[in-house]
Structure 1
Amino acid sequence: MAQRGPNPHSSRPRSAEVVIVGAGIMGAVVAARIRELRPHASVLMVDAGPPLGSALGHHLHDTPDEEMRSQFLARAERANQERYMSRGGADAGRDLTAVPPGMHPLAGFGHDTAQMPGASIGWNLGGMSVHWAAATPTPFGSEIPAEIDRQEWDSDLLTAQRLLHVHPAAYPSDAVGDAVLEVVQDTLEGRGAEGRHPQPMPVAMQPHSDGRLHRTGPGAVFPAIERGGDDFFELQHSTIVRRVLTEDGRATGVVVRALDSDQESVVHAPVVVICADTMRTPQLLFASGLGGPAVGRHLNEHAFLAGTILVDLQRLGVRETTPHLDGEWFTSASWLPHSDEEQPFQAQIMQTPVDGGADSPQEFAVTMAFYVPTEVRADNRIEFSAEEEDIIGMPRMTVRFGYTPKDEALIERARGEQALIAERLGRFDPSQPSTLLPAGSSLHYTGTARLGSSADGSSVCDPDGRVWGCEGVLVAGNAVVPTALVANSTLAGAVTAVRAGRAAARLLGG
């Protein structure tokens, strides 16, 4: 069962013990946990997207495909997700083989995102996980779901950090970064919980023998995605899972369709784990008649307040600077952790040298993105059409999203904090001033298949990701997170994937 790639769809049904929908970080974590607990379980992983380059599941920062890597680096240097995005959209009609792999606006696939114009998805094998910035700040306080026992959470968090290869401070010490953090700390006047002071950003990166920091992609989490070599694992890309099949309240398999064919086929499986991102996981649940009234509801995303500050090194008293590492566009990456009410924002801080001109001192450009939590509300949601389809042939989505007065007040408070820090460091870059990016621009969406403690209609699954009312169907990833995240969402989502992988193994008798 070691085949990797699109498979011919024959009339003869195939089978596996587990089908994992989605080959991103979350699907890779689920596969890794199943393999650790059930070494010989047969696993089929299905991803709608085509490969990006020749290395399956490889982060684009480190892909051996030099042309693909150069394109990624050129776009990633634009400093935030909103600028990284391709705004061309999927304009190939229903010929999905003509849609170029990469990041695309959700609207390009036929959905209504007027209220969340930045909403985007990864249309490639591995989804966003081969593009992501690899920031993995640790969830704190109200971000941690109350429905999960705290000791279990802490243990599962360690497992997620291990699988994602999280490094607490991968970048070398940097005099400019240290000086910036001192200014941020002084501006806060000591606000923040113990250990939640400005500090180096934990990242899913590891120093490599080639001198670069290698980002974690799905293939680093579950190597069989990239290299094969697992006789009980099959990867099928460029294939859409149309619906999950059930009988008498139990999973029986999935219906799949290859992008280059209108022919559908059935894969029989007693366990199906859906890790198809925060937009497409509830879409598949809706198409399958699963999950109940909470499917698509409680869509959440922190507000994204971007800005670049030009820092005068003489003003900071910095005389020596640190050069870039090979392949990096920042000299360091730091963060201001949030502390709930005491300090409600997260700031992601990265700096790079810029040429101030012959008549100006050397400057550093400090990208300082503030993430501002927003209230979790059922009315922020994805509505699915029972009649209209997107270009893939799945239920068309309409995204309903807005900020409350409390959200708006907190955004203005964050803007004031950001402006005060900028004043003390230097000045905003006129070309990149403090800007509230369109909703959806952070790419950190959560909640649309949220976990809960009971099947009362307010949640989709239990704390282990088991979908209410259907044995053998599980969900994992950011969609499952029920809380308002201030930090980047990957690590919290990965904890749900650790739990779903363990639950899937138990269903197989592991």
Structure 2
Amino acid sequence: MNGPNFVGPGTGRPIPAQVDVLIVGSGPNGAAYARVLSGRHPRARILMVDAGPRLTTIPGRHTRNLTDPEERRRAVLGSQGGDSPGAAAAGTFFVDADAAARNDPGTLAAAAMSTNVGGMGRHWAGATPTPHPTELPSFISAPQWSELFARSRHLLATDPRPLTGAAHWRESLERLAAAFGGVRDMPVARTTAPDGTVTWSGTDTVLGALATERRETFAIAAETVCTELIGKRGRIEAATMRSQVDGSTTTVAAKVFVVAADSLRTPQLLWKSGIRPYALGRYLGDHLVVAGRFTPDHLAEPADPDTLLGAGRTLNNTTGTPSNGLGTVPYDPGDHPVHTQFGQVADRGEGLMMFGCMLAKDAQDSDRVWFHDDRTDRYGMPAMAFDYELTGRDRELRAYAEDCVGRAADALGATGVRTVTQPHGMSLHYLGTVRMGAADDGASVCDSESRVWGHDNLFVAGNGVIPADLSCNPTLTSVAISVRGARAAAATFDSAWRAPLISI
């Protein structure tokens, strides 16, 4: 069988009691730590754990790359936890499906997560725009950001070339450029073969050879919940695990701990472990999305959009359609203070376009995810709750975004456009919950190298580390930050020979 060693109940291999690096979470950011650390220390024994199941032989493979529709359907459903009563997007489930259905005010009603080996990297749309310099923390220098983004693009296999060269797509770009200026094709994480076949970047892309080769130094424990970090005097010594297969528990000692469990479960694990700085879970940001869907006048409106998009597809997932254009009007603090993403799919003269703006949240410390002491979630961890309110600035940006949708429709000659504001949480771009900072002043959880304040061997990773009011898709930025953190983690231990983690 291809792919790395899997350990834990049902695999025939026990979870090791001691490793060099324990990574909690197997999405793109956990994978970035594994890739960088294994590259710098080839003998380092790395264990990655994830609460979700293994869904493909090659872990983290993007579901778009599964050619069998039934295999793709099983992979998407499997990542939702099987009995999930609701899905926010492909491969995700709502934290609270009832709250999402009601769209409760004052909360992140549609908060959702993905639980499977590979995380959201198996289901994401692949958009990898670069933030405007003013959106990035200034305590990391511009040359450092430039190098980190270059490395992140490499790990994600980002391709800046257009998804399509179709004449009707170029027509739409030209019209939107006249209305907004600065319009460009969206960089998308994927590789294209000489015959035109596209392979979409998943978490396996970030893992590289770790996803396809068996190594004695790397293993994954699937369906394994990390329930607590154990330490003293500013150093984590071990972590406790519980198997979802048979309920057994294991304690794993390590030299370096990386929590990359997503923007909601990373602060949850720290909270459960008694690591509770004031900023933990606070400054929660979500991209409020204001969008419209319409047909440009140089295309005919389809009688049934499903025949154009394909069953269950959206404009972010149109693999196999004759044209799949994706573009952007980048954020500009003076002229266009939102990030705009638009997509078009067309066939035989018919077509649809989605034009949407993502609004950076004016995050306050009162915007937060917090955790109950007397209630648990489906994984036995403290149940989540949210406080989340729009500010005056947020409402001003929402009005601006609504105007932008109308301007786009006018530029493309579309009529009857209805603008929709998505419920809070639908973007899946949750920021700030374990945010980095320049000083341990109570407004951040970790330093500029993602090391949790007061803990010399504990690192956090993911979109939640991003502290700024970032308006664009965050994966490129969070992976860049993870590269920086992984380099700092690599410097904390030597590369002396060690006994193998797994005998192969």
TM-score w.r.t. the length of structure 2 is 0.86
One-letter identity of the residue aligned with 1:331: N
Change in CA separation of 1:314 and 1:60 when aligned onto 2, cut-off 3 Å: closer
- Contact 1:110–1:396 (Cα < 8 Å) also in 2: no
Deviation by residue 1:213-243 (Cα, 9 ceiling, x = unmatched): 2111111111355323222101111100001
Matched, 1:104 2:101: no
Match of 1:256 in 2: 241
- Contact 1:450–1:480 (Cα < 8 Å) also in 2: yes
One-letter identity of the residue aligned with 1:137: P
One-letter identity of the residue aligned with 2:411: R
Q: CA deviation at 1:449?
A: 0.1
- Structure 2 unmatched runs, 5+: 301-308, 311-317, 496-504
2: CA distance, partners of 1:373 / 1:332: 24
Show the 5 A alignment for 1:52-63: 52-63=55-66
Matched, 1:426 2:413: yes
Among candidates 130, 146, 156, match of residue 164 of structure 1: 156
- Contact 1:245–1:252 (Cα < 8 Å) also in 2: yes
Among candidates 126, 132, 137, match of residue 118 of structure 2: 126
One-letter identity of the residue aligned with 1:106: V
Match of 1:376 in 2: 363
Show the 5 A alignment for 1:223-234: 223-234=208-219
Matched, 1:274 2:268: no
Change in CA separation of 1:304 and 1:506 when aligned onto 2, cut-off 3 Å: same
Deviation by residue 1:87-126 (Cα, 9 ceiling, x = unmatched): 997359xxxxxxxx93101115999994222211002211
1: CA distance, partners of 2:98 / 2:83: 8
Change in CA separation of 1:54 and 1:64 when aligned onto 2, cut-off 3 Å: farther
1: CA distance, partners of 2:52 / 2:208: 19
Matched, 1:185 2:172: no
Among candidates 459, 469, 480, match of residue 495 of structure 1: 480
Match of 2:329 in 1: 336
Change in CA separation of 1:260 and 1:12 when aligned onto 2, cut-off 3 Å: closer
Aligned residues: 470
TM-score w.r.t. the length of structure 1 is 0.85
Give the share of equivalent positions with the same residue, in percent: 30
One-letter identity of the residue aligned with 2:345: T
Match of 2:377 in 1: 390
Match of 1:417 in 2: 404
| Of 383-392 and 199-208, the range deviating more from structure 2 | 383-392
- Contact 1:49–1:238 (Cα < 8 Å) also in 2: yes
Match of 1:81 in 2: none
Deviation by residue 1:66-96 (Cα, 9 ceiling, x = unmatched): 52336789x9xxxxxxxxx97997359xxxx
Q: CA deviation at 1:491?
A: 0.8
1: CA distance, partners of 2:340 / 2:82: 30
- Structure 1 unmatched runs, 5+: 76-84, 93-100, 191-196, 316-322, 356-361
Q: Secondary structure, in 3 states, of the residue corresponding to 2:5?
A: coil
One-letter identity of the residue aligned with 1:462: D
2: CA distance, partners of 1:87 / 1:257: 16
Match of 1:46 in 2: 49
Match of 2:38 in 1: 35
Match of 1:213 in 2: 198
| Of 480-489 and 258-267, the range deviating more from structure 2 | 258-267
- Contact 1:274–1:475 (Cα < 8 Å) also in 2: yes
Change in CA separation of 1:113 and 1:350 when aligned onto 2, cut-off 3 Å: closer
Q: CA deviation at 1:174?
A: 2.5
Q: Secondary structure, in 3 states, of the residue corresponding to 1:339?
A: coil
- Contact 1:109–1:391 (Cα < 8 Å) also in 2: no
- Contact 1:308–1:429 (Cα < 8 Å) also in 2: no
Q: CA deviation at 1:170?
A: 4.7
2: CA distance, partners of 1:6 / 1:63: 26
